[in-house]
Amino acid sequence: MEWIESLSGQLIGLDTAPLIYFVEEHPRYLATVRPFFQAIENNEFRVVTSTITLTEVLIHPLRQRDAELARQYREILLNSPGIFCVPLSAEVAEKAAQLRSEHNLRTPDAIHLATAYIHSAAHFLTNDSTLPNVPEVQLIVLDNLGTSSDK
């Protein structure tokens, strides 16, 4: 996929939804996100995300008492060599506050974007087309790629 090849050698910020689509094999988005996660495994680029992602992805498995799904999320986020799940720092918290104040974002979205920004990610993979453009971090919105199975 051309969009994945264009990410080669870069650091990419990761939102929660693409990870959920991959792990839970979402029928509409799996064909789009699977090559992305394979490219991470092949060391084509690296990914940064906040520990808020871990919080968000564990909600459903914990509610469903699905220990295996929770384990899969933990394994990917905490033990994948190309994925850096970073704790919330004061610098990220301040940037998130700035983004919230300027764009009226929800706190998790602001933290995700701030994490990508502070860690110098070139892009941010999401499926939230309402997120604002942040200087120096180009949004990649899955629905805008034109590669999901319904298009």
Q: How far is CA 28 from the centre of its chain?
A: 17
Q: Output the CA–CA distances (angstroms, integers) from residue 57 to 9, 44, 66, 77, 83, in the order listed.
A: 27, 24, 12, 10, 15
CB 127 within 8 A of CB 29: yes
The SS3 assignment for 121 reads coil
What confidence tens digit (pLDDT) does each residue in 52-106 have?
Answer: 999 999 999 999 999 999 999 999 999 999 999 999 999 999 999 999 999 999 9
What confidence tens digit (pLDDT) does each residue in 4-15 have?
Answer: 999 999 999 999
Which ranges of 65-106 would DSSP assign to H, the alpha helix? Answer: 67-79, 90-103
Confidence of residue 135 (pLDDT cuts 50, 70, 90): confident
CATH topology of domain 2-143: Rossmann fold (3.40.50)
Confidence of residue 43 (pLDDT cuts 50, 70, 90): very high
CB 143 within 8 A of CB 15: no
